[in-house]
Chains A and B, each alone.
Chain A
Amino acid sequence: DAGITQSPRHKVTETGTPVTLRCHQTENHRYMYWYRQDPGHGLRLIHYSYGVKDTDKGEVSDGYSVSRSKTEDFLLTLESATSSQTSVYFCAISEGSQREKLFFGSGTQLSVL
């Protein structure tokens, strides 16, 4: 498996609180992504990064922000969590921009009560 670590693995939080999820990679890949997985929707891209301090929005970016201060870490922040953000969050990395092979992390189960 590619060296991708997501933390925490599980989180329960209350509506209105800030939450930060961390993705750490040891592969030195340039591209990193945050997806959310919901039944009936498959995986939807939240934000992605194509380099340190270079990020862009995905399909469902509202309510989320990201930061990438170094190659190995990509943080996803929910500034004020809502119940609609209850989901499983997956980080992914790829070496090339064509995403010819995405490596996924193990996921973070987030519950917003």
Chain B
Amino acid sequence: AQSVSQHNHHVILSEAASLELGCNYSYGGTVNLFWYVQYPGQHLQLLLKYFSGDPLVKGIKGFEAEFIKSKFSFNLRKPSVQWSDTAEYFCAVHSSNTGKLIFGQGTTLQVKP
């Protein structure tokens, strides 16, 4: 079955620490990949997306993600997190074969000041 897996459910970091959140998917064929962020009390917002081209994608607020096709992964990274990055992060994968957009379970990031 098609699935999206986020391995880290809850991550706690201190400010200035580096961040990497894992995302793996099980689709075949052409995929479009997304990371969404949900700040406390707010709705989801698009952080970054990959459709084609350079597998290293830059997003807003210093986030980036790398698409590694051979590993079916799209990990989110940030070199130095801030307290304001505290939020829930969702990976999502759209399959051109099925037309479905499936979200991962989400990762809660807590950044301590």
Interface residues of A (CB under 8 A from B): 35, 40-45, 59, 90, 92, 97-102, 104-107
A104 touches B43 (CB 8 A): yes
Chain A residues with CB under 8 Å of B49's CB are: 100-101
Q: Are B43 and A102 in contact (CB under 8 A)?
A: no
Interface residue ranges of B3-52 to A (CB < 8 Å): 4, 6, 9, 32, 36, 42-46, 49, 51
Q: Would A42 and B46 be within 8 Å (CB), given that A98-B32, A100-B32, A100-B51 are in contact?
A: no
**Cα distance A106–B94 in the bound complex, in angstroms:** 22
Contact between A42 and B105, CB atoms less than 8 A apart = yes
Residues on A with C-beta less than 8 A from B45 are 104
Q: How far is the CA of A68 from the CA of B26 in the complex (A)?
A: 33
Nearest first, the 4 A-B pairs at minimum CB distance are A42-B103, A43-B103, A104-B43, A104-B44
**Chain A residues near B94 (CB, 8 Å)?**
98-99
| B46 proximity list for chain A (CB < 8 A) | 101-102
Measured CA separation A41–B90 after assembly (Å): 10
Kindly identify, within residues 43 to 102 of chain B, every residue whose CB is under 8 Å from any CB belonging to chain A.
Answer: 43-46, 49, 51, 90, 92, 94, 96, 99-102
Q: Which residues of B contact A98 (CB under 8 A)?
A: 32, 94, 96
Closest B residue to A4 by beta carbon equals: B43
Q: Which residue of B lies closest to A44 (CB)?
A: B103
What are 28 A-B interface contacts by the 8 Å CB criterion?
A: A35-B103, A40-B9, A40-B105, A41-B105, A42-B4, A42-B6, A42-B106, A43-B44, A43-B90, A43-B92, A44-B103, A45-B101, A45-B102, A59-B100, A59-B102, A90-B44, A97-B99, A98-B32, A98-B96, A99-B94, A99-B101, A101-B49, A102-B44, A104-B43, A104-B45, A105-B43, A106-B42, A106-B43
